Structure 1
Amino acid sequence: MTSLPVEPLAAEGAALLESGRPLEAVDVLRQAVASGEQTAPDLLVRAYLDSGNWHAAVEWLTPLVEQGHVRFAGRLGVALSELGDRVRAEEVLRLAVSSGELGAANDLGILLRDDGRTAEGVLVLARAAEQGDPLAPANLVALHLEDGDLPAAAEAAERYADPARPDTVLALAEVRAAQARLDEADGLFRQAGELGAIRAHTAYGQFLLTERGDVLGAQREFLEARRHAEPGWAWTMGRFLLDVGRPDDAREFLQVAADGGDRVAAETLAELDGLDPADD
């Protein structure tokens, strides 16, 4: 059997992405695309999105979607949304959902929520949850919580809670916290962490900080979030250290977040340096 050809540049770019260095990955993966490495286009899209380079993502993805490559539509919708082009973002995300990209329903639901169309967002996420999208149930619960509809959030959380899908356990923990059932929430946060929910340690740290007043416990969980490379861990830790009066310690984490494309972290660093983020 002939082995598949090795794609060295794509492999290097993937390794940079996994180590949290998307800006470096972009340069490598652009070379990989130019060299015709077949796995490079998807990786380059991820690098653009992970680095927050939304303009480059839109420039790269728009012609692909227009040429009929609808598998890129969901990611194009995310980039357009980040740039504030909400009309085009909704159009492209609906294209992605209608083409079978069920995961795009989550981004569409959030977009609708941000446009003040929460009821539509709930319908989109509820439909995706019923169709088996693994992310939709937790996002549906979060949407209800953000809308202040605790009974609906509880109903959805209890309906979809399943240890086989750790994020649903985390969603139920958030609901129990909102219901002031703190001991039960504490146990569910711990269970979600043991099961590997994507943001379990970040969420548990916030719970310990806001509901228990446990600063040391929160710091421990935020460090665990770092160890597990949870989304946004660097910003979370940086913000936490700022809030507890440790700006010098916060800088390291804010810089990591800013280097990863977090605009809020970059603005916060500028403010720490006495600069106006609005000045370029």
Structure 2
Amino acid sequence: MNPSPGPDPADLAVQGAALIADGRPFEAIEVLRQAMAGGEPSAPDLLLRAYLASGSWRAVVDWLGPLVDDGHVRFAGRLGVALVELGERERAETVLRLAVESGDVPAANDLAILLRDEGRMVEAVNVLVEAAAAGDQLAAANVVALHLDAGDLAAAAAAAERYATERQPDTVLALAEVRAQQGRHGEAHDLYRRAGQLGALRAHTAYGQFLSGTGADPEAVEREFREAERLGEPGSAFALGRFLYDEGRFDEARSYLQMAADEGDRQAVEALAELDGVEADEY
């Protein structure tokens, strides 16, 4: 009797993709390894997505490093991100610069963050200005964010006013953040709402945080965080979890904080530790 055939590699790839979409990248990894072993053409890219989503940075480097070394520069940006996460900053900078120089303009945002974290603000801003001029959708907004992080509100305002355009919704959100810091709350409200209508990446999360900081009705704050969750905005799980925690709704908060912690959010880990009355190192 012939042994029964194993799972179809194409079906495994579909299953792996579904697990990634469902926020279960660790489970997806083994499924996609099987799909790749079975020769499924889509499996390598899906497996890379699973590694990235799960924070398996060493696996990413081991996979992509040889490819980039062999001239496959389209992987350089993702390799650079993994190297940053592993603390290999010098190599990360080299790889990210290679990515940008090879036409991966969005990698400029990761390079700028690396430069900022090393205190090289002028270089970071210059990298983003060049990326914005090349049409990157996030770089202009990130110029504003860099200036705000550095406490230079005047420079942030000048950049926000220069770049703001409804063709790039995140620049509208950046201008909202500046107006909020300037105390021009009426304008900020309008800009946050418009950024949300235009589809800015973190519009509802940022608006919820603004409303919370100005003492708005908690129901209005929660509506924004719930909408951010529905849209899958980056950081929305922690924002909603922190809000629920601060409202004393601990049981509801836990699942969101755990979700954010699983995605590598250190603030979420600290909030969970605070909730459980233990040290963050215990997680």
Instruction: Confirm or deny a common fold (TM above 0.5).
Output: yes
Amino acid at match of 2:162: R
Distance 2:266 2:103 in 1: 32
| Residue 148 (1) aligns with residue 124 (2) | no
Q: TM-score, normalised by structure 1?
A: 0.90
Query: Deviation per CA, 1:137-160, whole angstroms, max 9, x where unpaired?
Result: 111111111112222222222222
2:133 is matched with which residue: 130, 138, 142? 130
> Any unmatched runs of 5+ in structure 1?
1-5
Amino acid at match of 2:161: E
Query: Deviation per CA, 1:159-195, whole angstroms, max 9, x where unpaired?
Result: 2222122111111111111111111110110111111
> How far apart are 1:245 and its partner, in Å?
2.7
Q: Which of the two has higher C-alpha Rg?
A: 2
| Residue 252 (1) aligns with residue 270 (2) | no
Amino acid at match of 1:231: P
Higher mean alpha-carbon deviation, 65-74 vs 42-51, is at 42-51
Equivalent pairs counted in the alignment come to 275
| Residue 240 (1) aligns with residue 243 (2) | yes
- Residues 68-87 of structure 1: matches in 2 within 5 Å? 68-87=71-90
Runs of 4+ in 1 over 6 A off after TM superposition: none
Aligned residue number for residue 194 of structure 1: 197
> Any unmatched runs of 5+ in structure 2?
1-8
Aligned residue number for residue 6 of structure 2: none
Aligned residue number for residue 37 of structure 1: 40
Distance 1:188 1:7 in 2: 46
* Structure 2 residue matching 1:278: 3-state secondary structure: helix
Aligned residue number for residue 161 of structure 1: 164
Aligned residue number for residue 106 of structure 1: 109
CA contact (8 A) 1:20 1:260 kept: no
Query: Deviation per CA, 1:87-124, whole angstroms, max 9, x where unpaired?
Result: 11111111111111101100000110011111110000
2:212 is matched with which residue: 203, 206, 209? 209
Higher mean alpha-carbon deviation, 105-114 vs 31-40, is at 31-40
1:58 is matched with which residue: 46, 56, 61? 61
Distance 2:247 2:181 in 1: 24
Name which structure has the greater RCO, CA cutoff 8 Å, separation 6+.
1
Distance 1:185 1:57 in 2: 40
Aligned residue number for residue 94 of structure 2: 91
Amino acid at match of 2:15: E
